[in-house]
Amino acid sequence: MNHKARATIEEFSMLEQGDIVAAAVSGGADSVALLDFLCAQLNLGLTVRACHLNHCLRGEESDRDEQFVRTMCAQYGVALDVRRVDVRALAHTRGLSLETAAREARYAFFEEVARAHGCKIATAHTLSDAAETVVLNLARGTGIAGLCGIPPVRGGIVRPLIGCTRAETEAYCAAHGLCYVTDSTNLTDSCTRNHIRHNVLPQLFRVNPGALEAVGRMTAALRRDEDYLSGAARDARALAARGKGYDLETLRALHPAVRTRVIAALLEEGGAERSAQRIAYIEAMLEGGRRRVMQVGSSLYVVADGGLLYLERRKKTPLEPIEPHLLRREAIDGARISLGDGKAIEFSVVNCADYEIFDNNGGRLLKNAADYDKINNGIFLRSRQAGDRIQPVGRGCTKLLKKLYSEMGAADRERLCVLADENGVFFAEGVGVDERVRVDKVTTHIMLITFARDGADNCMAPEEETA
């Protein structure tokens, strides 16, 4: 471990002569090994400190860990900063998962420690942690950046053990007679990362016992590629810059790997989410000569117009929700309801004893088609409400409608039509029908939902906006 950690420090210029560095010490094997290692680097003349965040999640066990770290730092003569945060309460207040709330609390604490003492923060992330992160990102869906794992250096955060495995840090502790504590929650599969550690990675080791080292080589190579592509994207932004935005023709000519990074940088500039789906929608806006607008925040829009792609902030004015209507299912066939803003919704019920007539229809028609017999009597037509959830056909999971609209960049969301029965939302404009009312091989009656301009037959095109 010693050799690998020293090589990592040198390769990434993590620490220099006379630096002040605070080791983030949880009390586990990795962080205990890190603190001992840093204190032994006499040739660097480091001033070593430590910091510990008590997440208050495990009762007496959390307090035990804190006391262990206090005792260890006193024995080493190392100054220690400690903070206690009720992470469970923080997660509830901010609507976050425990894991996310804990991470945010830790890094906020690290930032304060770094600022207070003018020091770098050394965390004990290992190659094992990096491999878990890669697998987790791969399962969730990611690009090159997510496959790069945990960066060795990020701002004032350094990770000297990122080239070492967890087995090596434990061996270091054993060789140096170091005691450490074990977080009991790490022994369970209660969180996704633990499941990956206990069940997924061992299967990779069956294929290749050196899988961790292979992941390390891959992440190093991908970091180089990502660095190059990020540099190319910076150059492309400078090349495409025109007035308040970027030249559409120049953007269209870029390689997709560079173009998507330019778009991601534009979204980041506005503080908007940079999901792959959102970037794909914006790429589609580059084609054609029409003015196109996509909402990416409460008052932030991406606009393609006048040969430019640019961000536009608009004064947020509250929209009046759609006037709610209660419709009887048996009277829905042929109904047409004005929604205001020159838009109407129309319903028709089709007898579909022979389903084959729909087999060759595209997904666009069936997206707005519901199994009439699966809908309960009493259909509510309204705008989205807090807590509305829907499982879009084929998605395999239920999501908050608010989150789906955010991912889609849907504009004027309060004016989008939602249909619900006593079992909840079964249709949302722009999303389609819920899985529970999907049309299938045993469907006998189909309810088709269409939108038209009020008084006309033309379908609405919400992604286009007249200047």
Let me know the angle formed at the C-alpha of 390 by 465 and 430, rounded to the nearest 5 degrees.
15
Helix axes 60-76, 29-39, angle to 10 degrees: 10
27 is in an annotated binding site: yes
C-alpha span between 368 and 233 (Å, rounded): 39
| Entry field: residues in the chain | 467
Q: What are the pLDDT digits (tens) for 367-421?
A: 789 999 999 888 999 999 988 999 998 877 888 998 888 877 777 788 899 999 9
For the chain, 467 residues long, give each residue's pLDDT as a single digit of tens: 999 999 999 999 999 999 999 999 999 999 999 999 999 998 889 999 999 999 999 999 999 999 999 999 999 999 999 999 999 998 888 877 888 889 999 999 999 999 999 999 999 999 999 999 999 999 888 889 999 999 999 999 999 999 999 999 999 999 999 999 998 888 888 778 889 999 999 999 999 999 999 999 999 999 999 999 999 999 999 999 999 999 999 999 999 999 999 999 999 988 888 888 889 889 988 987 788 888 888 788 899 998 999 999 887 666 688 889 999 888 899 999 988 777 889 999 988 764 444 444 444 456 789 999 999 888 999 999 988 999 998 877 888 998 888 877 777 788 899 999 989 999 999 899 999 999 888 899 999 999 887 643 333 333 444 33
C-alpha span between 1 and 12 (Å, rounded): 17
**How many CA atoms are closer than 13 Å to the CA of 224, on its beta-carbon side?**
5
299 is in an annotated binding site: no
28 is in an annotated binding site: yes
What the block records as the tokens of 215 is: 């992941």
155 is in an annotated binding site: no
| Beta carbons of 319 and 295 less than 8 angstroms apart | no
- Domains, the chain, ordered by start: 1-213 (3.40.50.620), 243-313 (3.30.465), 325-453 (3.50.40.10)
139 is in an annotated binding site: no
What the block records as the tokens of 410 is: 């849907």
C-alpha span between 360 and 270 (Å, rounded): 42
| Beta carbons of 306 and 244 less than 8 angstroms apart | no
Amino acid symbol at 6: R
